Amino acid sequence: MPAKRKVSAPKRSAERCDAPADAADEFPKSRGIDVPSDPEESDLEDEDAVDSDFDAALREMAADQGFDSDDSETFAAEIDADADEGEGPEDADDDENEEGSDIHSSDIDGASSDDSLDGEADSEEADSDGDEGEESPLVRTASRSTDGQQTAVGDDGGDDKLGSELLDGEGMERLTIEDFGRDITAWKEYRKTLPQIDPGYASDSSTEEPANTIGNVPIEWYADYPHIGYDIDGKRIMRPATSDELDKFLANMDDPDVFRTARDETNQQDIKLSEEEIDIIRRIQGGLVPDAEFNQYEDTVEWFTSQTMKTSLSGAQPHKRGFVPSKWEHKRMMKIVRAIRQGRITRSAPKDTAPKYYDLWADSDRSAEAGGATTGGRRQRLAAPKQALPSHEESYHPPAEYLPTEEEKRKWLAADPDYRQRNFLPQDFGSLRTVPGYDRFVQERFQRCLDLYLAPRMRKKTTQLDAEELMPKLPDPRDLRPFPSTESLVYEGHTGRVRSISVDPTGLWLLSGSDDGTVRLWELVTGRCAQVWNLKETVYRVAWCPNAEVCVFAAAAGSRVVLVIPPELCDDQKRLVSEELVRAGFGRTGGGDDDGDDDSLPVSWDMPTSAEQAAGVQVSISMHRTAKSVAWHRRGDYMATLTSEEGGSAVLIHQVSKHKSQRPFRRLKGAVQHVKFHPTRPWLLVTTQRYVRIYNLMQQALVKTLQPGVKWISSVDVHPQGDNVILGSYDKKLSWFDLDLSVKPYRSIRYHTQAIRQVQFSSRFPLFATASDDGTIQVYHGMVYEDLNQNPLIVPLKILRGHEIRNSLGVLDCLFHPIQPWLLSSGADGTIRLWT
């Protein structure tokens, strides 16, 4: 019979799967156990099953007993096994598992039926002790009862025992329904005498003691009520009376089972745990399988083994695909085959065994021998510059003087790495073993790599010019003597700035005009002041008449120009000639211009006062504005004056012998700085702020305009030969013009550190000088050659220093001696100096 069951197990599970879930839940075991029975009996069974499950079970049992009384043990075991598989929480689980997978469920079934086999064997021994030993934990749990009912249960158990004892011990045979035949009532009577059978799990769970069914309601909700939950009639289930704490305590002290008692709040009962239950708890706590009997390491049952069974478990034929070669594999193979045929897949080329390095330049050597070009006509590459080689400071043990000071170190550390002059800090490690690794080595190599491929290259022509080579090849100044080089005399006496000086044509006398309103006459070689004229106004200009026959000078003081014949200076002969020249004009009536526009000229020729006449002042020419400049024509008859007047009337030309004045320009552009007669030609040089205009007085036309390109011209002088002009400016520049060449300067020289006040040629020697506000006088050699192809030679010769700077004014005027190579200069310090 067990073997039969075993075989039927998978079949049953299959049935179950087929059956609807609720139907299967009803009474699995009635269909599960394949109990052979009469059709009659089964009818009865069906009939009773409708009435009561319990009766059905009972009848079944009775039927079993009736058929197989020898197998009573087997029957009991079967019941147990059924209980194993039967209803209850575990069973539901089983069902779920079964639905999950067939194999698994069959496995479980198998296992449980094995259990049942074991149980059978056990029951044979334990029959005399009752069925307690065989009870599975689940059965035990079901038979567990509350405290109150314990006795009842115990009674049941006792009855049970009693029953079984009665049956076994007395050997009295239990009657079956068959024995009664048709007498149903008798059977019923008899049945009443039979002991009660513990239904266990074979019966419905409704047979159990009704528990309080409050559901999931938390028990605290009933804390304030005298009852807990409701019974089936809606009546309150009252709380049982509770003893006070002391009683509880005493009860606990008395009760030896207090440690195994737990409180069921829902039912308000104390539950006493059995030994097995405690054992289960212990096992759970210890992380073991709760069931003590469960063997985790059972022998494997090979349901599906490699060993071929005589008869297979299933009758299904093996699938065809197990014998037929794979189509897809074939496809893939064909793909490869095709690729090989088409040559897409080739055998990997044999590894190159040729030497890695060989004589790469063999061919180039041959072509070089043949004289072929190596570059192949390509652009010449710019080779990257090599890295600079290290100097002493990079040494691990440099000389002490190459080590940086503390401050240099600090500066180096503070500086941005890109702006450091060196990328390392010189250091002295006394010996080689103390030298550490250089931590920026890789970075520096990397930087070099970046330079090689990212830095633009450019062929840069650097002129390795020696400064000495660039210096102009100037002749030695010592070869260009004579020129003034030392200060030899100082004329002191003026109390204001000496604005102007002039030397008489004989070279013996020196005139000076100053801000203190005086004109002084000096004996040039001794420095004696011969005479003083007090003109009471600033003397801007003094100028000897260049005519050597006469002895007259003009002085511009304030708004008038006076003509003076110094009385002590000349002999009678000369005096007569001079006086004739100067005073002849007074005889002429009108004294003005022939043109008839006399009135419009801002000039009047006056007789000076008698006191002045006594001092030698012969004529006074009054103007409307301050007279700034006086320039004599080389013949000594004409004289040009410049006033601060605006327009054409600023420049006037006077004829001394006739006391006649004329205005050469109706209009003049710009503020006129200077006027000067050309030494050889009938030209007048009018200097405005930016330009020098040269007019031809005979033709009354503009000859040319010199454009020095300076901001403010201060002074002009013309070379005695007349072809070259020098020009000084307040912006420190000296310009040399060659009139034959261009209207732009031939040479501009900037040496002075302050404005140039005066430029002067020497009339006799190839010299010229510039006087400046920086207190110096610069003497140059300025040679003009007869050969027109040869450019003038300009050589700076000497810087003369001596004048003091007052109110940022230095040397105001300078002048070459007409005969000697001497220079005279006057300054803002009120002195006049002679340089020889």
Partner 1 sequence: MARLKKKYTEGASRTYTTRNRALKKLQLTLADFRRLCILKGIYPVEPHSRKRANRGSTRLTTFYYTKDIQLLVSEPLIAKFRQHKIFLRKLQHALGKRDYTRAQTLDENRPEYTLNHLVIERYPAFADALRDLDDALCMVFLFATMPTVSRVTKEKVDECKRLSTEFMHYVIHTHALRKVFLSIKGIYYQAEIQGQSITWIVPYQFSQQVPTDVDFRVMATFLQFYQTLLGFVNYRLFTAVNLTYPPRLDQALEDNAAGLGSLRIESRRVEDMLEAARSGDDDGSNGASDDEAGNAPSHDAKAVKARMGSLEAKMQAIVAADSAAPAYEAVGGDASGGDEDALQAADLLFDKQVVYLSREVPRYSLEFAIRALGGRVGWDRSSGGGSPYTENDQAITVQIADRPVQGHQFLSRTYVQPQWVYDSINARRLLDTTDYLVGQQLPPHLSPFVEYAEGDYVPEEASRIAAAAAGFEGEVTNLKPEDRDQHNSEDEAVADDVDGESADEDEAPEEDEEAAAGVEKQYQKQLLAERAGVTFSEYQQKQDDKPAAAISKTRGGMPKRTKAQLEEEDRERIAISMLSKKKRKVVNRARADTYKRSKDLNTMKTRKAEATKAAASAAKPGARK
Interaction residues for partner 1, span 438-477 (CB under 8 A): 438-439, 441-446, 448-450, 452-458, 463, 465-467, 470-472, 474, 477
Handedness of CA 537, 543, 547, 550 (dihedral sign): positive
Residues 725 and 717 sit within 8 Å (Cβ to Cβ)? yes
H or E element: which one contains 636? none
Give the residue among 273, 249, 248 at the shortest CA–CA distance from 259. 273
Query: Which of these segments, 239-247, 400-408, 527-535, 657-665, binds partner 1 (CB under 8 A)?
Result: 400-408
Query: Which of these segments, 79-87, 276-284, 382-390, 706-714, binds partner 1 (CB under 8 A)?
Result: 382-390
Q: Which is nearer to partner 1, 484 or 513 (CB)?
A: 484
The single residue among 206, 314, 387, 700 that binds partner 1, judged by CB under 8 A, is: 387
Shortest Cβ 487–partner 1 spacing (Å): 9
Shortest Cβ 807–partner 1 spacing (Å): 19
Shortest Cβ 483–partner 1 spacing (Å): 13
Parallel, antiparallel, or unpaired for β 747-750 and 733-738? antiparallel
Query: Which of these segments, 91-99, 207-215, 394-402, 684-692, binds partner 1 (CB under 8 A)?
Result: 394-402
The footprint of partner 1 on residues 27-56 (CB under 8 A) is none
Shortest Cβ 466–partner 1 spacing (Å): 8
Residues 392 and 398 sit within 8 Å (Cβ to Cβ)? yes
Shortest Cβ 433–partner 1 spacing (Å): 4
Query: Which of these segments, 111-119, 353-361, 538-546, 587-595, binds partner 1 (CB under 8 A)?
Result: 353-361
Bridge partners of 694, per DSSP, are 685, 704
Q: Which is nearer to partner 1, 4 or 347 (CB)?
A: 347
Bridge partners of 693, per DSSP, are 686, 705
378 binds partner 1 (CB under 8 A): yes
In one letter, which amino acid is 770? T
Shortest Cβ 373–partner 1 spacing (Å): 9
Q: Environment class of residue 423 by beta-carbon count within 10 Å: exposed (0-12), middle (13-18) or buried (19+)?
A: exposed
Shortest Cβ 376–partner 1 spacing (Å): 7
Shortest Cβ 796–partner 1 spacing (Å): 4
CA distances from 836 to 395, 450, 608, 833 (A): 61, 68, 38, 10
Shortest Cβ 707–partner 1 spacing (Å): 19
Give the residue among 603, 511, 460 at the shortest CA–CA distance from 832. 511
Vertex 547: Cα angle to 545 and 551 (nearest 5):
60
Shortest Cβ 749–partner 1 spacing (Å): 6
Residues 774 and 830 sit within 8 Å (Cβ to Cβ)? no
Q: Which is nearer to partner 1, 249 or 424 (CB)?
A: 424
The single residue among 196, 205, 391, 705 that binds partner 1, judged by CB under 8 A, is: 391
Shortest Cβ 462–partner 1 spacing (Å): 11
381 binds partner 1 (CB under 8 A): yes
The footprint of partner 1 on residues 415-434 (CB under 8 A) is 424, 426-427, 429-433
The footprint of partner 1 on residues 751-770 (CB under 8 A) is 751
**What DSSP string runs through 784-807?**
--SSTTSPPEEEEEEEEE-PPPBT
Shortest Cβ 371–partner 1 spacing (Å): 13
| 772 three-class SS | strand
Q: Which is nearer to partner 1, 325 or 437 (CB)?
A: 437
The footprint of partner 1 on residues 540-599 (CB under 8 A) is none
**Residue 455 dihedral angles phi and psi, to the nearest 5°:** -80, 130
Vertex 754: Cα angle to 520 and 772 (nearest 5):
30
The single residue among 1, 340, 415, 435 that binds partner 1, judged by CB under 8 A, is: 435
The single residue among 384, 415, 548, 576 that binds partner 1, judged by CB under 8 A, is: 384
Query: Which of these segments, 50-58, 526-534, 632-640, 789-797, binds partner 1 (CB under 8 A)?
Result: 789-797
The footprint of partner 1 on residues 680-719 (CB under 8 A) is none
Query: Which of these segments, 154-162, 355-363, 497-505, 712-720, binds partner 1 (CB under 8 A)?
Result: 355-363
The single residue among 648, 792, 796, 818 that binds partner 1, judged by CB under 8 A, is: 796
Query: Which of these segments, 269-277, 399-407, 642-650, 760-768, binds partner 1 (CB under 8 A)?
Result: 399-407
Shortest Cβ 713–partner 1 spacing (Å): 20
Q: Which is nearer to partner 1, 5 or 781 (CB)?
A: 781
390 binds partner 1 (CB under 8 A): yes
413 binds partner 1 (CB under 8 A): no
Shortest Cβ 813–partner 1 spacing (Å): 22
| 166 three-class SS | helix
Q: CA 495 to CA 513: how far, in whole Å?
A: 11
**Residue 814 dihedral angles phi and psi, to the nearest 5°:** -145, 160
Query: Which of these segments, 125-133, 258-266, 790-798, 820-828, binds partner 1 (CB under 8 A)?
Result: 790-798
H or E element: which one contains 223? none
Q: Which is nearer to partner 1, 36 or 456 (CB)?
A: 456
| 623 three-class SS | strand
CA distances from 585 to 103, 472, 603, 615 (A): 158, 56, 14, 20
Give the residue among 766, 761, 759 at the shortest CA–CA distance from 793. 766
Binding mask 302-341 for partner 1 (x = CB under 8 A): ----------------------------------------
The footprint of partner 1 on residues 475-534 (CB under 8 A) is 477
Q: Which is nearer to partner 1, 195 or 398 (CB)?
A: 398
How many residues touch partner 1 under the rule CB under 8 A: the total is 84
SS (H, E, C) 479-532: HHCCCCCCEEEEEECCCCCEEEEEECCCCCEEEEEECCCEEEEEECCCCCEEEE
Q: CA 487 to CA 710: how far, in whole Å?
A: 32
The footprint of partner 1 on residues 721-750 (CB under 8 A) is 749-750
Shortest Cβ 711–partner 1 spacing (Å): 17
382 binds partner 1 (CB under 8 A): yes
For the chain, the straight-line distance linking the first and the last C-alpha, in angstroms and rounded, comes to 160
Q: CA 270 to CA 150: how far, in whole Å?
A: 12
Q: Which is nearer to partner 1, 360 or 611 (CB)?
A: 360
Report residue 528 as tokens.
């004696």
Residues 2 and 78 sit within 8 Å (Cβ to Cβ)? no
Q: CA 456 to CA 447: how far, in whole Å?
A: 14
Give the residue among 833, 816, 757 at the shortest CA–CA distance from 483. 816
Contact partners, residue 418, CB within 8 Å, separation at least 6: none
Q: In what order do the strands lie in the sheet with 831-835?
A: 487-492, 831-835, 823-827, 811-816
Q: Which is nearer to partner 1, 436 or 587 (CB)?
A: 436
The single residue among 794, 812, 824, 832 that binds partner 1, judged by CB under 8 A, is: 794
In one letter, which amino acid is 141? T
The single residue among 330, 338, 392, 634 that binds partner 1, judged by CB under 8 A, is: 392
Cα 261 to chain centroid, rounded: 76
Binding mask 90-129 for partner 1 (x = CB under 8 A): ----------------------------------------
Residues 126 and 133 sit within 8 Å (Cβ to Cβ)? yes
